[in-house]
Structure formats: structure tokens, C-alpha cells
Structure 1
Amino acid sequence: MASGSSSPGAGRFLTGVAWAVLLLGLWLWGRQITNGPELSSGPKTGDVAAVGRPLGVRLPPAHDPLKGAEPRRVEIPSVGIAAPIVPRGLDGHGAVDPPSFATPNTVGWFDGGTRPGAAGAALLVGHVDTDTRKAVFYSLSAVRPGEKVRVTATDGSITEYTVDDVQVFQRSHFDAKKAYGPREHGRAELRLITCGGSFDRTAQAYTANVVVSAYLTGVPKG
């Protein structure tokens, strides 16, 4: 999704504003993201538009949580995403500091929270675009329930997740617990997050955020 600006460098600024709004909930919610209540993964209406779980999609059982490991790479074959992961903390405003625009095809992992594979929801964030081109999570909104996400850790271990929910949260009614909290207590989950919706020229930001939820279903060999 393009930023909708013709001014040089404006796309970087506008997308950056969207990031600040998207992840402000982490600052408000603090480090409680791994201990939130169980949340339904069914389709939502009203302020939250969702792809949800289409009828007829059979999802596999969850794999038991693991110790978890620092992630190095993420792949979503169905939409052609394959990218390195770098750890990211919080910036001066209390929001997750996203990867640099100099490396738009890099995904950030919030290293103050859950490690992929461990119980709780691990957060992976990526830009949707820059001022000149598409970025790593440009196609994230095309992901559908039942599709696979694979994470390779720095120790060489691999964990595989199945997407069970895709939601588009409006910025004006962004609910941090619904976006970041575990959908089922004790389950190892992922959240993959980027900007979405349309571009609001008045607010100089995107109007929504795409949040893909997936849960651990396998531990492939090599």
C-alpha cells in the first residue's frame, strides 16, 4: 500500500507516524502482554473488521509450548514473505522501535516480551512501505487462516505456526489487549503486525492496523 504522498521523504514520515499510533498500546499496557486474558479468535464486527476463520477451514491442534528462542528469520510462503528478524526494544515514546527504513525488508521482534515458541504471544512487526517502495509486510493483509508461518531461531531450531485469525483494527478504536494478548491461555502464539486500511491525508497516517494471529502447531526438522 503506497503512502499516498508525492513529496520526497514524506512516505517515511507518514509511515513513522502510523507506527507510533499502532504501538502506543504497548507503552500503556507495559509488560503485561504475555499475561492477558483469553480472547476469542472468532470474527469481529463493528470497530474491528476481520477475515476471521472461514467456514470449512480445519485447523490443526496446538503443539505444546517450548522454551522459546530468539528468532532470526520468518517465512510466510503463501504470500512470499521471507525476511530476517532483528530484536527491537522501546523508543523514547514508549512504543516498539521498528526496524530502520534503511532496511525495509527486515522484521522486528519485541525482545521485551515473549520468545517465539514459548507460551504467550510473541510480537513481530514490519513496515508496509517506504516513500519509494513496498516493504516487508506489504502483502501481510493477504494472509488467510490455515496458512503457515515458519520461524527460524538463532540456535537453528525451527517452529511452525498456523494462522487462525486475521483482523484489521481501526486506529481510532485500537484495543491493545485484543491485538497483543494471547487468544488461548498457555498456548504459544505469534502476532504479525503492520499498517493497513486507507491513508488519511489529514491525520498523515494510515487508518488501521493489520494483525495476523498464529499459534504453534509443529516443530519441523531442519
Structure 2
Amino acid sequence: MSSGTRPAGTGRLVTGTAWALLFLGLWLGGGGTDEGPLGSSAPTTGDIAAVGRPPGAELPPARAPLAPVAPRRVEVPSLGVDAPVVPRGLDSAGAIDPPPFEEPDTVGWFGSGTKPGAAGAALFVGHVDTETRPAVFYGLSAARPGAKVLVTRTDGSVAEFTVDDVQVFPREEFDATKVYGPREPGRAELRLITCGGTFDRATGAYTANVVVSAYLTG
């Protein structure tokens, strides 16, 4: 993971093919810095790795998208997550710049992308751990379909999302379009992303990403 020293919202907005290439470089693991000694942080095999959507799971219907408003806070009650959200841009390598390591309990939102509640997929990223303790998204791989994600927006409204999918993508199987593209056209969706797999001290990075997908239901 990058050091996160650039100001919030910096970087460039890219689209089309460049958008996919951007996310091929999105790895929220150590990145040769000071994160990741706690070891395995998530299921480690397969692209659904003991999570995903149980057969026949009953999920609520999607509701129509809301007006686009920036996020201020995110909660996942079933995981004990209750964290501030800050806008982030791109780092020098063209990947989303996560919150600084000095802010392990803060979630970053890709501020040049979709606002949570609006049509499209809003992207939230967070650290899984630090050198000494778990960080904001340490328990993300334990999320299950049907769990609620509440996003408080800057106008005071709260967008309620329901988790419908939890996947673990190894580096060699990472598919930017599959991970970050909307699952259903016109639907308001949310992605919560962190490191997964095991920490490789030789490369200073985790071996996979945990991706929780949710959609607007209230």
C-alpha cells in the first residue's frame, strides 16, 4: 500500500480502458511499507473462498438511486465497523490513494468516482492492519450476504446498503471490470475493499483482495 501522503482528492480521473488499468494497480496490502505483520487476514483460496452468496439467499429488492451526495461516515453493524470516510484521489502509480497509515481507522472513498447512493458503484478502501494491530477493515472477510452497510452522507441522509456478495481475488486472478463495474445497470452499489490472503514479507504486500459488494435498499 502506498504511504498515503498525497492530499485528499488529488490525482486524475480516468475512464474506459485506463479505468481498468487503474484498478489493476489497486492493491491495499503492504506495498513495501510498514503494514501487514499480523499474517493471514482473510480466506485465501479461490475467488469466492468460503464466502460469496449462499444458494437461495433471500435479499431485499433494490431501491431507486438517490441524488449524488458525498459520504461522511460508514457503518457495518455486524462487523463493529463505525468509521469516518474521507475522499481520496490517485497516487503516483495511478492507484487509489488510501488513508495514511497514521489513520488506520479511517476509510477512503474514491472521490472522483460514484457517490454512494447514486447509480453506479461507489468505492471504499481501508487498511486491514498495521504493524501492531488490526485496522478498520480487518474483519471485512467475515461479512455475509444480508448484512447492512449504512453510509451517512454530508447532507445528513443515511443510505442503507445490503451486502449481496463477498469475494476474495488473488493477485493473478484480479479482474478490474468484474470487481469494480456495476453488477446491474442503473443500480446504486457499494464496494468495500481491503487486503486479503496472507502477507508476503518478501514483497511487502498481501496476496489477495477482499471485495464486499452491496446495493442500495433503503
Deviations 1:58-106 (Å, cap 9, x if unpaired)?
A: 0000000111210000000001000000000001111111001111100
Change (3 A) 1:169 1:28: farther
**Residues in 2 aligned to 1:152 and 1:129: alpha-carbon distance in whole angstroms:** 24
Bigger proportion of residues as helix: 1
Structure 1 counterpart SS, 2:48: strand
How do 1:162-173 and structure 2 match up within 5 A? Answer: 162-173=162-173
Structure 2 counterpart SS, 1:49: coil
Q: Percent identity?
A: 67
Q: 2:40 maps to what in 1?
A: none
Of 125-134 and 194-203, more deviation after overlay is shown by 194-203
Q: 2:31 maps to what in 1?
A: none
Q: 1:124 maps to what in 2?
A: 124
Change (3 A) 1:99 1:65: same
Poorly superposed stretches of 4+, deviation over 3 Å: 26-33
**Residues in 1 aligned to 2:194 and 2:15: alpha-carbon distance in whole angstroms:** 17
**Residues in 1 aligned to 2:185 and 2:106: alpha-carbon distance in whole angstroms:** 30
Q: 2:48 maps to what in 1?
A: 49
Structure 2 unaligned residues grouped into runs of 5+: 4-13, 22-44
Structure 2 counterpart SS, 1:138: coil
Paired residues in the alignment total 184
**Residues in 2 aligned to 1:109 and 1:90: alpha-carbon distance in whole angstroms:** 11
**Superposition deviation, residue 53 in structure 1:** 1.2
**Superposition deviation, residue 171 in structure 1:** 1.0
Structure 2 length-normalised TM: 0.79
Change (3 A) 1:154 1:183: same
